[in-house]
Amino acid sequence: AILDLGLTLEYLETKGVPVLGYNTDKLPAFFTRTSDFKVDYNVKTPLDIAKIVKAKRDYHLEGGVLVTNPIPEEYSLPAEYINAEIDKAIAEMEAKGIRGKDETPFLLAKIVELTGGKSLEANIHLIMNNAKLGALAAVEYAKLRK
């Protein structure tokens, strides 16, 4: 329900998916700029991302590439704050016996409620920031293919 970053990184490694951090050595989380986990490579530009993706495709390497991009600083929530709110939401979910496919919608709605909408605003800016970086990397990739 709430992403287990360590387990996710372990799974990606077994599948041969490199984890790139855009101008970061630490894996960003959804509501904060960093976590306790390291990325495989720190990439500095959209061109760097494009070159890595192109090389992976040129050499017919299986799997994708995960590009992680920190939330803009002004929208990042303090880790202690958001983690405490997530813990409260999980405790309530467990107390109510919510399981399976109902977990994620409950937790996301509860976290929005507990943070007074701050988590939703942070997540929206994360998505917009990711779309911007994805577009810039796509342009660079298209140039490399010519």
Average pLDDT, consecutive stretches of 10 residues, N- to C-terminus, the chain (146 residues): 82 94 95 94 98 96 93 95 94 96 93 97 95 98 96
Is the Cβ–Cβ distance between 69 and 28 less than 8 Å? yes
Residue 31 to residue 9: CA distance in whole angstroms: 18
Element (H, E) at 105: helix 103-114
pLDDT of residue 43: 98
DSSP codes, 51-69: HHHHHHHHTT--S--EEE-
pLDDT of residue 125: 95
pLDDT of residue 2: 66
Task: Kindly report whether the global pTM for this prediction surpasses the value 0.85.
Answer: yes
pLDDT of residue 30: 87
Longest dimension (CA), the chain: 57
pLDDT of residue 56: 94
Is the Cβ–Cβ distance between 142 and 117 less than 8 Å? no
Is the Cβ–Cβ distance between 2 and 94 less than 8 Å? no
Is the Cβ–Cβ distance between 42 and 91 less than 8 Å? no
pLDDT of residue 23: 98
pLDDT of residue 110: 96
